[in-house]
Amino acid sequence: MRIVEFHDFDIFNIKFDLLEEKELLELLEAKQVDVDDDDEYHLVKDVKVGFSEDLEGAQIIGQIDLIDLQFRRHIEATISGYFTIDMEGQIDMEAASQKMYEDGWYVLKQQLRPIVNFLTTMDSRKAVHLPLDF
């Protein structure tokens, strides 16, 4: 399976908050996050992959929840991308799903980075450099 073309990118349900220290602690408690002294962020991502019936198209939807512990920022967003794909005669849907997750998610992350950087520089602090495992 390979990506032929990236059709569309949507970002919606964006929520961005600058938190007071008390709010940050409440958020971490509510989400049951254990924080290590070395942690700069807490990231949760939920990514789903779907294929069209004719197996010529695919969609990825990702739900992001990023808590920047250093600057007390909380970003939640849903992102979506549509792709034209070539299955190259592949029948193994599990392998195709994994490949779509890796390749398609990489494309979506590249689209999302400038938006997150813009949001996080509005408070005149350093931009969040999205974690490598994002």
Q: Which residue has the higher pLDDT, 97 or 91?
A: 97
The Cα–Cα gap between 42 and 68 comes to: 7
> Quick check: 39 pLDDT over 90?
no
The Cα–Cα gap between 103 and 119 comes to: 25
Class of domain 2-121: alpha beta
Q: Give the pLDDT score at 112.
A: 84
Torsion of the alpha carbons at 84, 87, 88 and 91, rounded to the nearest 10: -170
Averaged confidence pLDDT in the chain:
86
What is the percent of the chain with per-residue pLDDT over 90, rounded to a whole number?
48
* Cβ count near 42 (within 10 Å): 18
Q: Give the pLDDT score at 130.
A: 60
> Quick check: 90 pLDDT over 90?
no
Q: Give the pLDDT score at 74.
A: 92
* The model's pTM: 0.78
